[in-house]
Amino acid sequence: MPETTWWKRGVVYQIYPRSFQDSNGDGIGDLAGIRQRLDYLVSLGVDAVWISPIYTSPMADFGYDVADYCGIDPIFGTMKDFDRLIEAAHARGLKLILDFVPNHTSDQHPWFAESRSSRTNPKRDWYIWRDSAPDGGPPNNWISNFGGPAWEWDEATGQYYYHAFLKEQPDLNWRNPEVRQAMYDALRFWLDRGVDGFRVDVIWHLIKDAEFRDNPPNVAYQPSQAEINRFLQVHSADQPEVHEVVGEMRRVLEEYPERVLIGEIYLPLERLVTYYGQDLSGAHLPFNFQLIQTAWNAREIAALIDEYEAAIPDGGWPNWVLGNHDQPRIGARIGKQQARVAAMLLLTLRGTPTLYYGDEIGIGKVEIPEDAVQDPWEKNEPGLGLSRDPERTPMHWDGSAQGGFTTGRPWLPLDPTFTQCHVEALSKDPTSILTLYRRLIALRRQHLALSVGRYVPVEAQGDMLAYERRHGSERFVVALNLGHRPHTLVLPVGANGHVVLSTFLDRDDEPFDGQVSLRADEGLIALLQD
């Protein structure tokens, strides 16, 4: 795979479809809405769009509970809307990546209806059914990721079924070859329609321990944490046989040219990189969430970059993520000023960056009133701060009521700052965060050093994180001040050049010689002279 492959050079943008643009006034975003906003994505400069699930779903987990892998949920539109969207995206040179949710279906999926109808149904073994433990309780101690036991008793057939998430999301049995074939056919259905790749939901969960052994207790567990942390997930996920499945998915994609396989994987680095597969036969991009999980601190981030670069197998391509629909927004985590520095980091690291919609307009911490809570996880385990609603609020397009997102009542409240902080206003402001994102993406597109170039560490002390990106004779220094006090970065004698971009957008072309000074919360990209 050459370094010019689109998913290596390009920038991916994640859309949470319920919250991007509503076109019919029901308060929920839809496919026609996304189509209306494609020109915005082109103006932002991204290369590919990943859309969270749009399949037929009862929406118990907002689309991550699929009832038909080859259907579009009416909330989002019709298959015709989908075809129009993909055509319009491709006409603009944008790639379209779909979410694929293979670990579990909805309990309303016809496969599950058959499976639960009797113990002898041919689809019984498509899901994970087990007898109760001798005491009548669940077969083992596995916990649902959303709290409570992961086993649900089925009165009619007298067995438990396994669900790693909600009880409305029964896990498929990926050891069954018929399940695999049915799911690969679903992939082909979308690939035939022109989809450019998939982000595969919880891919490390697909295979469970063949003996369903109990998970060991986690001694570090605190009751303030989500219940899933009571046990170490040693037997319920990340089993060696999962790599066979990932490899099979990869081969399905390879029946088509230039498609990308992205895996959602929350594992420590050394486990994460195994998902590139033996001889790179696995996921092209096992999502790297380490920036989300690492403290906002120069030394730790620099160590993380080094460790990650060192851990990636030969020929494997890195990637970086700052936010998604399951994680607190970057602006909420580190504040508005540092969110700009984070944007510069994300867009100047080696590897494919994935942006989360709304981060480019600086959406920050959004309070969700109790009576507006939507997230089923928050409803299951209230009060622990687990809600994912704050990162799923609607996009702000203009200064009109509901930010131009909907003419109706939005399904989640907007960030109250939407009246000033919206695409229309920020686009006109040469110093806005949106302008910064646009310029960063454009620079990255213009200079191979910033996308595929070598990463060379320079400094990681106190609040200062600095590195070089090099390609051919081109050398950039990226200097990021992760703190709230000014700092000066001293470079080797004779290192001079000029500033290309500051996160404050006010130092273009400023020359430097031997050192660069950074204001509080400032990041800089500078071009070094030969």
188: left (phi over 0), alpha (psi -120 to 50) or beta: alpha
Beta pairing partners, 487: 518
Q: What number of other Cβ atoms are within 10 A of residue 259's Cβ? A: 20
Q: 164 by DSSP, 3-state: which?
A: coil
Catalytically active residues are 201, 255
Residues 256-295 that bind ligand GLC (CB under 6 A): 264
**Residue with smaller CB distance to ligand GLC, 75 or 101:** 101
**Residue with smaller CB distance to ligand GLC, 60 or 527:** 60
Selected from 154, 214, 309, 326, the binder of ligand GLC by CB under 6 A is 326
Q: What number of other Cβ atoms are within 10 A of residue 389's Cβ? A: 18
Q: How far is the CB of 322 from ligand GLC (least distance, A)?
A: 15
Instruction: Give a three-class secondary structure readout of 479-528.
Output: EEECCCCCEEEECCCCCEEEEEEECCCCCCCCEEECEEEECCCCEEEEEE
Tokens of 31: 């496919």
Residue 467 interacts with ligand GLC (CB under 6 A): yes or no: no
Q: How far is the CB of 423 from ligand GLC (least distance, A)?
A: 25
- Binding-site size, ligand GLC (CB under 6 A): 9
| Per-residue contact flags (x/-) with ligand GLC for residues 174 to 213, judged by CB under 6 A | ---------------------------xx-----------
Residue 121's Cβ-count burial label (10 Å; 0-12, 13-18, 19+) is middle
As a residue count, the chain comes to 530
Q: How far is the CB of 205 from ligand GLC (least distance, A)?
A: 8
**Residue with smaller CB distance to ligand GLC, 169 or 406:** 169
What's the order of all strands across the beta sheet hosting 474-481? 454-461, 464-471, 474-481, 523-528, 496-502, 511-513
**Residue with smaller CB distance to ligand GLC, 61 or 107:** 61
Cβ distance 251 to 274 under 8 Å? no
Q: How far is the CB of 192 from ligand GLC (least distance, A)?
A: 25
| Per-residue contact flags (x/-) with ligand GLC for residues 51 to 70, judged by CB under 6 A | ----------x--x------
Cβ distance 48 to 95 under 8 Å? yes
**Residue with smaller CB distance to ligand GLC, 61 or 522:** 61
Q: How far is the CB of 493 from ligand GLC (least distance, A)?
A: 49
Determine the residue type at 275: Y
Residues 126-165 that bind ligand GLC (CB under 6 A): 165
**Residue with smaller CB distance to ligand GLC, 215 or 324:** 324
Cβ distance 482 to 463 under 8 Å? yes
Where along the sequence are the contacts to ligand GLC (CB under 6 A)? Answer: 61, 64, 101, 165, 201-202, 264, 325-326
